[in-house]
């Protein structure tokens, strides 16, 4: 074992000097490394916090769904939204066409239900069996002058319209505040509609 007894007086003096010098160097280096680490940690924490904040905002979305009394596929679509972290409120109404008109839904894009979601002080309309995944994509970065999305009619295999594993490709249309429409997304397969597998989402 190495001890001070093995050292001569000059050697002991040298060890003491090194012990006095290097700790200060080590401490200085440690402070520099700690400073960088803290800075990087704070930067990473801020980014994570921002991401979590955005995700949290989307998780708290509340959808008011206007529907005709007795419409079961509307209820199934609401269940689809619930599984994707939406809160839903079903509102059976006598004249749903009037609500669609008031919300700016083109009659050619009409479906069996109309949902309203408020996000970042804005109100958006979502007509028909739109996948929750696509609603979240829209709300994460709403296009300028857009009032919402629509899936016309009731495509077989869309969320809430599942039938024996069958699927009919469809378009999700973007509704503009000037009454015009454009294609927001094309859904070409059953799997494209879900954040998880179709079996887990149903």
- Mean pLDDT estimate for the chain: 78
> What secondary structure letter does DSSP report for 69?
T
Q: pLDDT tens digit string along 127-175? A: 999 999 999 999 999 999 999 999 999 999 999 999 999 999 999 999 9
Range of weakest confidence among 26-30, 50-54, 88-92, 127-131: 26-30
Give the confidence band of 58 by pLDDT, cuts at 50, 70, 90: low
pLDDT on residue 95? 94
- pLDDT for the residue 109: 96
**Edge-to-edge, what's the strand order for the sheet holding 146-150?**
87-92, 62-67, 113-119, 122-127, 146-150, 170-176, 181-187
Q: State the pLDDT confidence band at 195, using cuts at 50, 70 and 90.
A: confident
The residue-averaged pLDDT of 45-56 equals 42
In this predicted structure, what is the pLDDT of residue 60? 75
* Helix residue ranges, H only, 71-174: 72-83, 96-103, 132-140
Domain ranges of the chain: 9-57, 62-201
Mean pLDDT of 68-90: 95
Range with the poorest average pLDDT among 29-33, 155-159, 160-164, 189-193: 29-33
Alpha helices in 1-150 (DSSP H): 9-59, 72-83, 96-103, 132-140
Report yes or no: 81 and 104 within 8 Å, Cβ to Cβ. no
Report the pLDDT value the prediction gives residue 78, as an integer from 0 to 100.
97
pTM above 0.85, yes or no: no
Q: Per-residue pLDDT for 48 more than 80? A: no
For residue 196, the model assigns a pLDDT of 63
> What is the per-residue pLDDT for 141?
95
pLDDT of residue 97: 95
Classify domain 62-201 by CATH architecture: 3-Layer(aba) Sandwich (3.40)
pLDDT value of position 59: 55
């Amino acid at each position: 074992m190495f001890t001070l007894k093995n050292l001569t007086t000059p050697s002991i003096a040298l060890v003491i000097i090194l012990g006095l010098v290097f700790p200060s160097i080590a401490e200085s280096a440690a402070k520099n490394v700690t400073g960088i680490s803290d800075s990087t940690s704070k930067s990473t924490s801020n980014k994570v916090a921002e991401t979590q904040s955005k995700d949290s905002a989307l998780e708290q979305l509340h959808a008011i769904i206007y529907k005709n009394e007795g419409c079961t596929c509307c209820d199934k679509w609401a269940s689809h939204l619930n599984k994707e972290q939406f809160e839903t409120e079903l509102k059976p109404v006598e004249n749903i066409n009037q609500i669609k008109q008031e919300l700016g839904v083109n009659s050619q894009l009409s479906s069996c239900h109309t949902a309203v979601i408020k996000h970042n002080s804005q109100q958006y309309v979502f007509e028909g069996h739109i996948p929750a995944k696509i609603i979240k994509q829209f709300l994460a970065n709403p296009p300028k002058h857009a009032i919402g999305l629509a899936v016309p009619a009731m495509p077989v295999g869309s969320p809430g319209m599942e039938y024996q594993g069958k699927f009919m490709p469809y378009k999700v249309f973007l509704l503009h505040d000037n009454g015009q429409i454009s294609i927001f997304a094309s859904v070409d397969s059953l799997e494209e509609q879900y954040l998880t597998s179709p079996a887990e989402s149903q």
